[in-house]
Amino acid sequence: MEKKKHSNTHKGAAILFFLFSLLFFVLFARFIQLQVTGVADGQVLAVKAEEKYKQKRTIEAKRGTIFDQNGEVLAQDMPSYTVVAVLDPKMTTDPDHPRHVVDPEKTAKKLAPLLKMDVDEVERILTKDAKQVEFGANGRNISYELKEKIEALNLPGIGFIRDTNRFYPNGDFASYVIGYAQKNDKNKTVGKMGIEKSLDKYLREKDGYVSFAGDVNGFRLPNSKETIIPPDNGANVYLTIDQKIQTFLEDAMNDVEKQYRPKKIIAIVADPKTGKILAMATRPSFDPNKRNIRNYFNDAISYPYEPGSTMKIFTLAAAINEGVYNGNEQYRSGYYKVGRNIIRDHNKVGWGTITFNEGVQRSSNVAFSILVKEKLGEDRFLQYLHRFHFDRKTGIDLPGEAVGQIHYKYPIERITTGFGQGTSVTPIQQIQAATAIANGGKMMKPYVIDRIVDPDTKKVIVKNEPEVVEQPITKETAQKVLDILETVVTSEKGTGRPYQIEGYRVAGKTGTAQIPSPHGGYLTGYQNYIFSFLGMAPKEDPRLIMYVAVQQPKLSYTETGAAPVSHIFTSVMKNSLQYLHIQPSSNLKTSKTKAKGIKIDSYIGRSTEEVVKELKEKRLVPVVIGNGQQVEEHIPISGDTVITGERVVLKTNGKTVMPDVRGWSLRDVMKVAELLKLHPSTKGNGYVVSQNIRPGSLVKKGDYLIVELEEPRKWKERMEQEQKEASRKKTDGPVE
């Protein structure tokens, strides 16, 4: 029995020895294989080892910044922070220095006011069954200043995750031009609208990194090689938008939106010499920081509609260019028959027999029907519609541009197109076409991107230049059109009288466009129109061109559609001309100026006393700035023609001091501002009643000169009252 047991033990030992030997040989064979091939389960072991021990740290890149034409920031990446709360008690290793939220109630009371949340809501978040929590939208993208305030509370368990956020410092400002960018599901900022979207390939950044061999704790191993891939920052974009002019526009549109609650407002300000868009805005708008968007289209370039009488500018230009327009020729206003259709003037009855010039001033539909049908001819007029590019997009460098549609199939459509009905165009098409009127016949392509620059090398990647896209009319025609359009604004019979700007000559045309009804025909009612104005100033050499359209404003029965439109046009145009230091028109009645003109000589380098005496002899009013003995500069300049009694401002080589401009006209104030290189800002109209820089104070280049003006009647009453007060004080003597 014992012998049999011993035999079984030997057999068991032999089997175990065999199994262990087999396992050893298998492992040894596997080891040899790995040594020879370096591959396991299809993966290279050297690579896997490197991945395990190689440490990689991200170097964040920055998305490109968007600037206005003067380098003011319109969109940029800003550091932002997300507030987090650690709730897991295991994170605390030292009870004296807790690293988790110990007292949710106390923490909630202190944290809630800073996050603008209810205390109960914060406490509910802090008592969740989780290791770490966030606080929703109120706790994301907070500023560095708010982060510091929270840190100062020394709340255990409250920490921050650093990130970057796309920030738009001006909020609701050129939002449809700039657009917006936001994080995608990979936490990358991507352009979603406007310039942010169309130039995303330039603005987009690419993070860099540094890699090195490290231990399991992430520390770099001695003598290990370091690899650095630098970050690739996004390119900076400079727009043609001018922040000051855009601000003038935004403020004026806000006023009109608040007062008249229109369905839409569209406005564009451009430089007709270059095609640069200086300002562009629409209502309703949105704040790119909040993305409270109601309309995803930029109506200034994407909304074709029947323009109304602003289209008459181009019909007039075509007739003059073809030599078929005689402004003194008379016609019968009221109605005009085209087949079985009757075209009527806007007052339904007309003004009797009047000249074509008066027809332009009164915006007579009949006058323009005759020009298209009888003077130009429908085929020739169609050629001019193509010349002014109303059949195609402008190609402006903004996404989403639409194109209008020329309806020219039926005889009535051909005629109504001449005064802006039937055919549709976009606001930007009208701006482009109008540059030909304001720029000597040369039509400029509109653009909003000035240049794109590499932020690291400062190399210009893309540079846009002014481009003449067509010359639909001659220089002489453009001047004649401007002359006639000025009378639309200045004539007692003109529809453009509300668009006058004191000190500047304005040329332009009003528009009242009907709105198609969804049920056919047009909407009816006092307010159901798109009221507009397309104007240029100063008329003698237009530096700015502006289009404003207001759709369906809430008007009182005593108001016309010109009220909201003119509020935007006159305030923006006036402020912009002054901001650009554009001299007021020398005299609005040029023919009289020539008849009674006094030519200004050059007084530079001459004795101040001598020049003052000479100017007085010519019955002009010298204004001396400084106490120097010689004249350095003067306005009006040599060669200018002035009238009797006009002020001539002389800057001497002495100290530059501010004159007393109270009682002066705006035109005279602008002379001083230009001569002393001041930034003028005005409030009101008429004559100066107050100035921010005291008379006799020293001034330097770049100072702001703010003057308040009153209408002549009010100013006269003020002067008379001051004289009475002065006289009474003299008579009464001092009061004890």
For the chain, what is the radius of gyration of the CA atoms?
Answer: 38
Distance, C-alpha 660 to centroid of its chain: 36
Residue 187, CA distances (Å) to 59, 64, 164 in order:
15, 17, 10
- 127 burial (CB, 10 Å; 0-12 / 13-18 / 19+) is middle
- Domain ranges, residue 636: 590-726
Say yes or no: 655 and 569 in one domain: no
**pLDDT for res 226:** 60
Say yes or no: 37 and 67 in one domain: no
Residue 558 belongs to a domain with what CATH number? 3.40.710.10
Which residue in the block uniquely carries the two structure tokens 């000051």? 244
| Average of per-residue pLDDT across 672-699 | 80
Predicted confidence (pLDDT) at residue 51 exceeds the cutoff of 50: no
**pLDDT for res 46:** 44
Domain's final residue, options 579, 605, 625: 579
Q: Could you tell me which of 678, 681, 715 has the C-alpha nearest to residue 697? A: 678
- Determine if the peptide bond prior to 680 is cis (ω within 30°): no
Euclidean distance between CA atoms 230 and 58, whole angstroms: 10
Say yes or no: 660 and 573 in one domain: no
Domain's final residue, options 172, 204, 236: 204
Say yes or no: 557 and 674 in one domain: no
Long-range contacts of 351-354 (CB under 8 A, 24+ apart): 354/330
Is residue 194 within 8 A of residue 399, CB to CB? The reply is: yes
| Token duo for residue 6 | 């011993």
Sequence-separated (6 or more) residues with CB below 8 Å from residue 217: none
| Token duo for residue 313 | 């500018």
Which residue in the block uniquely carries the two structure tokens 């990446």? 77
Candidate from 149-158, 572-581, 636-645 with smallest mean pLDDT:
636-645
Say yes or no: 276 and 418 in one domain: yes
Say yes or no: 20 and 111 in one domain: no
Euclidean distance between CA atoms 647 and 643, whole angstroms: 9
| Token duo for residue 539 | 């008329």
Residue 30 lies in a domain: yes
Euclidean distance between CA atoms 684 and 481, whole angstroms: 31
Say yes or no: 180 and 286 in one domain: no
Q: Could you tell me which of 300, 295, 298 has the C-alpha nearest to residue 269? A: 300
Say yes or no: 261 and 186 in one domain: no
Euclidean distance between CA atoms 571 and 575, whole angstroms: 6
Residue 732 lies in a domain: no
Euclidean distance between CA atoms 583 and 429, whole angstroms: 29
Which residue in the block uniquely carries the two structure tokens 């540079």? 463
Residue 651 belongs to a domain with what CATH number? 3.30.10.20
The structural domain count of the chain equals 4
pLDDT digits (tens, 9 = 90+) for 210-261: 665 555 554 555 555 666 666 778 999 999 999 999 999 999 999 999 999 9
Residue 346 lies in a domain: yes
**Catalytic residue status for 309:** yes
Say yes or no: 366 and 498 in one domain: yes
| Token duo for residue 243 | 């922040």
| Average of per-residue pLDDT across 316-329 | 96
Domain's final residue, options 556, 579, 602: 579
Sequence-separated (6 or more) residues with CB below 8 Å from residue 381: 315, 318, 372, 414, 417, 418
**pLDDT for res 176:** 95
Rounded to two decimals, what is the model's pTM?
0.69
Give 58's pLDDT tier (boundaries 50, 70, 90).
low
Which residue in the block uniquely carries the two structure tokens 């009109």? 256
pLDDT digits (tens, 9 = 90+) for 269-311: 999 999 999 999 999 999 998 888 888 899 999 999 999 999 9
Sequence-separated (6 or more) residues with CB below 8 Å from residue 622: 611, 612, 615, 616, 647, 648, 650
The per-residue pLDDT of the chain, averaged, comes to 85
Euclidean distance between CA atoms 293 and 316, whole angstroms: 40
Sequence-separated (6 or more) residues with CB below 8 Å from residue 411: 338, 339, 378
Q: Could you tell me which of 512, 345, 517 has the C-alpha nearest to residue 420? A: 512
Share of the chain above pLDDT 70, in %: 84
**pLDDT for res 5:** 54
Distance, C-alpha 30 to centroid of its chain: 71
Residue 684, CA distances (Å) to 33, 250, 413, 690 in order:
93, 19, 45, 11
Say yes or no: 400 and 447 in one domain: yes
Predicted confidence (pLDDT) at residue 29 exceeds the cutoff of 80: no
**Type of residue found at 620:** L
Predicted confidence (pLDDT) at residue 510 exceeds the cutoff of 70: yes
| Average of per-residue pLDDT across 522-542 | 91
Say yes or no: 616 and 572 in one domain: no
Residue 508 lies in a domain: yes
Q: Cα(first)–Cα(last) distance of the chain, in Å?
A: 148
Predicted confidence (pLDDT) at residue 495 exceeds the cutoff of 60: yes
Host H or E run for residue 364: none
The one catalytic residue among 285, 309, 566, 585: 309
Say yes or no: 635 and 550 in one domain: no
Q: Could you tell me which of 386, 16, 450 has the C-alpha nearest to residue 242? A: 450
| Average of per-residue pLDDT across 401-415 | 93
